[in-house]
Amino acid sequence: MNPPPVVRSDAQPDAPPDASPDRGLSRRRVLQGAALGATAVAAISIRPFDEAVASAPAALGIFGYGIASGDPTADAVVIWTRATPPTRRGEPVATPGSGRGRPLSVRWEVAADPRFRRIVRRGVVRTSAESDHTVKVDVQGLSVYTRYWYRFSARGQDSQIGATRTAPDEPGTTHALRLALVSCSNYTGGYFAAYADLAQRTDLDMVLHVGDYIYEYGNGADRYGPAALIGVRDSEPATETVDLRGYRLRHALHKADPDLQAAHRAHPWITIFDDHEVANNAWDTGAENHDPDTEGRFARRRREAYEAYLEWMPFRLPEQRVVPHRGTRFFKRFTYGDLADLSVLETRQHRSRQVDVAPFTTTGGGFIPTGDPAVEAQLADPGRHLTEPEQLAWLKEGLAGPRRWHLVGNQVVLTPVRFPGAALGVPAVPTLLNSDQWDGYQADQGELLRHLGSQPSGAGDAVVLTGDIHSSWAMDLPVDRAVGPAYVSAGVEFVCPSVNSDGFYEGFATALAGQAPEAVVATVQGATAAVRATNPWIQYLDGVGHGYVVLDVTPERVQADFHLTPTPTTAQPDPRIVPGVLPQYANSWVTTTGSRRVRPGTSRLQTRSDEPSPRR
């Protein structure tokens, strides 16, 4: 029997109203080692990444990497594009990461109608190779809870038009709030069907991406994803990303995907990185997927990865001086009237190294056996942290605020989870935990859960929104897991599946090669049922589907609708590699005000209670 694996797991004044222009086992193999013991139709025309897409007069021209908006507040939103400067005859293309290309002036416009007859903000920005020719504008002075459209132009070329909206953060008025939750989108792992489906929705205030927007792996032995897509969806660069050029190219690869472009055009996004935006299972001074002997200093690699992330994402850095923090402050908070707030955590920059237990893990955490006193002491060590203490204090302060719901965007699972060894093919080990999750930092975990449990009735209820583990969960948050079924719940946690990264099913399918997909599905369902039985606060766990979750927030309840790819069958063993196969509504889970527990929903979400105006 093999041991379980590592689960690696700006703005211008208003225009006139009539203005109108024309190592060990990788986390990516979620549960694969344990198993060893036991896009839209448009995607049909996807071509492999081609650097010429960045050059005019290539088919997609100056704005070939699309447009995006993000971090919407009541009166502002960030808009983004990459403006590839046209070349003169004989000049090389200013491809991402190349450092080539002349500076370029780019005009931007924000309008109150999709035909741009009522422009409300406009301006011109200069971009250059210093920012990899990316453009990011923080458009201020907008109206609360309002739809807007935006576009860019340069050298006679126009970008596509994007739709965005400001936040429903209006004092004295309770508006609807609906968002999508996504994570773990691996280009080589399959088509971005979840993004294709989200692009078709018109009912979202935003998309919340909680990490692993890109992956660092290359096309060699470290390739991650189905073999059927080799030569069809390959990484660029072809090797692991370890420097600024590589990370810029990898972001460009994702931004060239038509389904991701469509999802960015359709909605503003709020994003935060996890580990794969740098390297797998990263901690403050290293990562499982980083070898200083061959890849240099980790601090340099991380700094350059963050630089590329900030260039290529519609991300607004929060005010650095207001809140105590260490390093660069990435964590931030959004508010939505008296209805809710959203605290977005960052849990990689300052985390202590994960606990390893050989031979289970040796280079950066993962599944380790429980029960050994020395190991348990490390896990409970108050000197080890997932977030810096200043960030945890900031989070706790926000969770005691006056709003009805406290949403928390979070990278790795907060809920205490013990995985039964027998179900994972390791009967000699009663239970295991994932030391890369909050379970690996039990002082921080316990402090947060106790804080949530101590909040008085009426202080607002916590809903934690998580990704990372490539599976779908709905859970209560037990203040003390040791009491078993008699636990007191401090709130709830919803975990979204991966967009397309390998999950439980793919791990078991590899291990059980030769068995029919239906048999593999049954095996996965048996294993996940055992995990639920071991953890009575887990109300729902699906390890088969990929997709996304839609969260709808009202004063009375928060509902999570899970949308998952079809169950694999002999006729269609891997829906991720079939263009046009979209996630489908699977089920709903609900938590009501004051209950701090989750229960099954009775029906899928319907029409919102209200919508933002085109112009308020």
Tell me the pLDDT of the chain averaged across its residues. 90
Cα–Cα distance measured from residue 616 to residue 610, given in angstroms and rounded to the nearest whole number: 14
pLDDT of residue 43: 28
- How does residue 10 score in pLDDT terms, banded at 50, 70 and 90? very low
Residue spans of alpha helices (H) in 475-581: 504-511, 517-534
Give me the CATH code for the 32-600 domain, please.
3.60.21.70
CA distance 591 to 477: 12
Alpha helices in 123-279 (DSSP H): 193-200, 244-255, 258-266
Percent of the chain with pLDDT over 70: 90
Q: What is the pLDDT of residue 93?
A: 85
299-342: per-residue pLDDT in tens? 999 999 999 999 999 999 999 999 999 999 999 999 999 999 99
| Tokens matching residue 352 | 């202590």
Give the bridge partners for 559, in sequence order: 552, 590
For 277, phi then psi, to 5°, come to -65, -15
The SS3 of residue 330 is coil
Give dist(CA 278, CA 247) in Å, integer: 8
Task: Name the pLDDT band for 88 (thresholds 50, 70, 90).
Answer: confident
Model pLDDT for residues 432-469, shown as the tens digit of each residue: 999 999 999 999 999 999 999 999 988 899 999 999 99
Residues 356, 429: Cα–Cα separation, whole Å: 16
Domain range summary for the chain, segments of one domain joined by +:
32-600
Please report the pLDDT score of residue 23 as a whole number: 35
